[in-house]
Amino acid sequence: MDANELLNRYAAGERDFRQANLRGIVLSTLDLYRSSDAPTLILSNLNEHQIRPYLIGANFSGADLIGAHLGRANLSKADLSGANLTGANLFAASLSGANLTGANLTDANLSGAHLNWANLSGAILANANLTGADISAANLSNAVLSHANLQKAYLIKANLKEANLKDADLTLASLKEADLSEADLTGAELSKVNLAGANLTRANLTKANLLKANLRRANLTEAYLNYACLGESDLTEACLNRANLTKADLSKTYLRKITLNGSHLSGVNFNGADLSGIDLSQKLLTGINLAEALLNEANFSGAYLMEANLSGANLTNANFSQAYLINANLSDACLDHVDLSQANLTKADLRKADLTGANLRGAILAGADLRGVKLMATILPNGKTYH
């Protein structure tokens, strides 16, 4: 079937084109992505109103559309379930509300396409180009989007549950309130992405790049963020309960009002991060990097901070009672009115630290480096106040 026959049959009221052989069909006169071996089934004598072919609600389920050229075509509410669209050109096509369940869109060009409210459950979109596409509220559960290009795509409130997004590029994409629970985002590029309010429960973000991402109020419960880069991201009010953040980079991030109950934080880089008021009591924080972090009024009571780096950090009014700070680096830190009662500071580096008004009652300072430390109205380990 060629393009003219298809459009004529559609114009006559026919809508059922199931299992049709439409391989290489060309339905668009403006085709920016035609290759040198493009098929010759082009439309003849197109009128102005036919420049954008209309196939609304047509049934192409199971059809062979490999290499088809459907740029700017209106396929809203069409049934393309199980169709083979490998390498197809759907540039700026309208697929709003279309059924694409189980369709094969490998290497397809969907840049600028409208896929809002479309059903792409189980669809294969590996290596597909979805740059700037509108996929808002679409169902992409269990879809394969590995290595797909989703730069600047709109995926607001989209369902990406258990989707495969390995090594996908989502730079500047909007995934606000999207469902990415149990999705695989291993190695994905997510710099400057908007994930505000998104559900990332049990998502795998190992080695993902989330530089400057918006994760405000995002749910990252039990998510895998080990070795991930979250530098300069906004995680205000995010939930990271039981998340794996081993050796993740959270330098210069905003982490106010977040929850980290049961999370793994060994070797995390919080350099310059804003963790004001955070509760990390009883946490295992061995080797953590909190250099120059904002930690005023934070709770570290009973925390294990052996060999932690807190140099230059602002720890005003923080609670370190009974904390283990063995070999920790607190040089140049602001410990103004900090509670260090019964803390273990054996061999800690406190050079030039400001301990004004700090409470060191019962603290262990064996082998600690106190050169240049500032003591003013400080309660010493023996209970006496140093004036």
272-296 confidence digits (pLDDT tens)? 999 999 999 999 998 899 999 999 9
State residue 37's pLDDT score: 40
Residues 193-200, mean pLDDT to the nearest whole number? 98
State residue 46's pLDDT score: 39
- Contact present, 153 and 172 (Cβ < 8 Å): no
Strands (E), 314-363: none
H helix or E strand, kind and range, residue 5: helix 3-11
pLDDT at 50 over 90: no
CA distances from 308 to 73, 304, 326 (A): 59, 9, 8
Q: How many CB atoms lie within 10 A of CB 24?
A: 18
Residues 17-23, mean pLDDT to the nearest whole number? 96
- pLDDT tens per residue across span 240-266: 999 999 999 999 999 989 999 999 888
State residue 267's pLDDT score: 85
State residue 33's pLDDT score: 40
- pLDDT tens per residue across span 203-230: 999 999 999 999 999 999 999 999 999 9
DSSP string, 150-196: -TT-B-TT-B-TT-B-TT-B-TT-B-TT-B-TT-B-TT-B-TT-B-T
How large a percentage of the chain has pLDDT more than 90? 88
Per-chain mean pLDDT for the chain: 93
pLDDT at 92 over 60: yes
Tell if the pTM clears 0.75, that is, is over it: yes
Cross-strand pairs, 294: 274, 314
